[in-house]
Structure 1
Amino acid sequence: MSDSRGPWGPLAEPMHTDRVFSPDDPPWRENLFLTLYDRERGFYGTTHLQGGRTDAGMWARCSVVVDKRPAEIWERLNPMTFESEHISFDLGGHLEAKSDDFELHLDLSPLREAIDYSPSGALPGLRPNEPLQHFEQAGTLTGTVTMGSTTLQLSGGVVRDRTWGFRQEISSWTEYYAGFFLFDDFDLATMKFQTLDGDIPAHGQLVGSRNESVADATVRRRDPWGNIAELDLVLDNGSPLSLSLGKPEARINCPLNDPTGPVAFTSYDDLVEVRTSDGDVGFGIIEQGILRRQA
């Protein structure tokens, strides 16, 4: 049966504009995040549309690295929309961003199936009885990026996610890491969070030629810069799967909140090559975040 939302399915879930909120409800987030890359042409980027109905922290951001040159658009986003002054995203899969520094036009198409984190509660929200709805899926991208006098024709990969529900990172999360990696015939996603109330069990999924769940994850080694270098997974059948991550080909900061005091939740995205203990080689994103609260 076809999905009325189109080929991206839950990743194209419309904004929940008919949701009725009471005055004492916590912040409601409608989030959309894209990881973008064309390694052959030296293009890397992220787009983060963080909206919904909150009292702070709603913005649109598009960050790119072209031939190691960074540029970024960061601007306010109105409630319950995925379009700002200089960034727009069609849930069907078309992204446009334009500024004095760069211009981006991309079309995104899905690969394989979406990974649903919602039942596991691995991405912690603010109401345990109403878990965040969170989906991730890989795809391909085509289009152009222009920086200065240079225009590149792009053909690469994308990792896309879509989240909605009651969420405010700075008031509940303390630390986390999350990764999504594309291989020739399967995708692998995993995440592990710590909150003010304690640890959340790791979770994840392999989809494609492999269809297995991640039952546990442990960082075995970080390098001197804090990058995750070796990550050990345990699959649902009890078998181990170890990941070795290369040095980041690009690093892009990922703001999640709009602090009004000394406390801030900070995170960044590394785009890296990854090798499994089974000999598969892939590429994708590893994100790490931490709550900074020392006054």
Structure 2
Amino acid sequence: MSSHSTSSLQTTSWGPLSEPVHDDAAGRGDPVWKDNAYLSYWDVERKIFGSFHVSTSPNGDGARRARCSLIVGHDEVEIIETLDRGSFSSESISFGLDGTITVSHPDLEASFTNTPLHTPADFSLHELIPPLVPGKPLQHFQQACNICGDFTVRGSQHHLDGLGMRDRTWGFRDEAAQWAEYAGLVCVFDGAFLTAMKFLGTDGQLGTDGYLIDHEEARHLRDVTFRRTAAAQFLAATLTFDDGSSRRCTMHSREAGFFVPMGAETEGPAFGTYDDFMTLDLDGVPGAGFFEQGIVHRVA
């Protein structure tokens, strides 16, 4: 299966996903404000899978982190470093909101360029994630992308030419306080981008949000149900849209996976999150992406 399976019209800029960091948005007495940027990507042909995740905060000392996780064949690299407030660049990792990401580290040298596909999915419209501060909802956007570049893992040179999803959020946010559990499915198919999320809030309420986006329209999801293995790994999803129609997304092969650090080190509740990269199909149309599951661990 080719890693290039998208033929839709491309946008010319990252729009809301290039929103600058808000370094003066909150003070010591306010709930924690987080500016997050995220990119997961896959090149199925070359067996390359990876994620970048940067999170900074003007008032959350434990909420500033840069992460780069990458698997190529049987080699795996993970770099986790602290970030300064107001910055998406750490000692080794630079996440450019313009679409350029670089890494300069003894284990990994990389220079990647990501370009947008389709239009952004705006998760701010329906407030699936309850506002931590009333009247100030979390701003959240996702968009499919192409990603390409060259990198070196411990002296071994590689080329990346794949697809992915970029995410940008900003606002007051505390995962362990707002969410009990969530699951999210992200895929790029031939001509379409699917992103679906389902959250269980700490108040016991379930909520779904998501979109199937192509070059013609963005179809909003009303509900999604997941089928899992006995070990709770993704097998399939049934997607129900606002007009009552439904689609079926099915896993073909599990390719790679990463744990995702979400919060600060703690002796209290901690949010545990994992990404499973897979090949999938949407009613027979081939694609690839990942399934992310997160749950609050309360036993301390």
Shorter-chain TM-score bucket reads: over 0.9
**Closer/same/farther in 2, CA of residues 203 and 65 from structure 1, 3 Å limit:** same
C-alpha deviation, 1:22, in angstroms:
4.3
Native 8 Å contact 1:250 1:270 kept in 2: yes
2:25 is aligned with 1:28: no
Q: CA RMSD in A?
A: 1.5
Native 8 Å contact 1:204 1:214 kept in 2: yes
Equivalent residue pairs, number: 287
**Closer/same/farther in 2, CA of residues 269 and 139 from structure 1, 3 Å limit:** same
1:294 alignment counterpart: 299
Off by >2 Å, runs of 4+ in structure 1: 21-24
2:14 is aligned with 1:14: no
Native 8 Å contact 1:41 1:152 kept in 2: no
2:177 is aligned with 1:171: yes
2:9 alignment counterpart: none
C-alpha deviation, 1:247, in angstroms:
3.6
For the residues of structure 1 that align with 2:180 and 2:87, how far apart are their CA atoms? Answer: 28
2:144 alignment counterpart: 138
For the residues of structure 2 that align with 1:251 and 1:239, how far apart are their CA atoms? Answer: 31
Native 8 Å contact 1:231 1:243 kept in 2: yes
For the residues of structure 2 that align with 1:37 and 1:179, how far apart are their CA atoms? Answer: 14
Q: 1:11 is paired with a residue of what secondary structure?
A: helix
Q: 1:61 is paired with a residue of what secondary structure?
A: strand
2:196 alignment counterpart: 190
2:8 alignment counterpart: none
For the residues of structure 1 that align with 2:19 and 2:171, how far apart are their CA atoms? Answer: 12
For the residues of structure 1 that align with 2:278 and 2:123, how far apart are their CA atoms? Answer: 23
1:218 alignment counterpart: 225
Residue deviations 1:219-270 (CA, integer Å, cap 9, x gap): 2x21133211121111111012121123420101101012320421110111
- 5+ residue gaps, structure 1: 1-5
Native 8 Å contact 2:164 2:188 kept in 1: no
1:46 alignment counterpart: 51
1:60 alignment counterpart: 66
C-alpha deviation, 1:215, in angstroms:
0.4
2:252 is aligned with 1:242: no
C-alpha deviation, 1:211, in angstroms:
3.1
Q: Choose which of 120, 124, 127 in structure 2 pairs with 1:121.
A: 127
- 5+ residue gaps, structure 2: 1-11
2:7 alignment counterpart: none
Native 8 Å contact 2:239 2:246 kept in 1: yes
For the residues of structure 2 that align with 1:285 and 1:262, how far apart are their CA atoms? Answer: 29
C-alpha deviation, 1:75, in angstroms:
0.8
**Closer/same/farther in 2, CA of residues 198 and 128 from structure 1, 3 Å limit:** farther
- In structure 2, give the amino acid aligned to 1:109: T
Q: Which moved more, 1:198-207 or 1:45-54?
A: 198-207
For the residues of structure 2 that align with 1:163 and 1:189, how far apart are their CA atoms? Answer: 15
Q: 1:142 is paired with a residue of what secondary structure?
A: strand
- In structure 1, give the amino acid aligned to 2:17: L
C-alpha deviation, 1:130, in angstroms:
1.2
Which structure's relative contact order is higher, taking Cα pairs within 8 Å and 6+ residues apart?
Answer: 2
**Closer/same/farther in 2, CA of residues 294 and 56 from structure 1, 3 Å limit:** same
C-alpha deviation, 1:183, in angstroms:
0.9
For the residues of structure 2 that align with 1:255 and 1:246, how far apart are their CA atoms? Answer: 27
- In structure 2, give the amino acid aligned to 1:157: L
For the residues of structure 1 that align with 2:187 and 2:38, how far apart are their CA atoms? Answer: 15
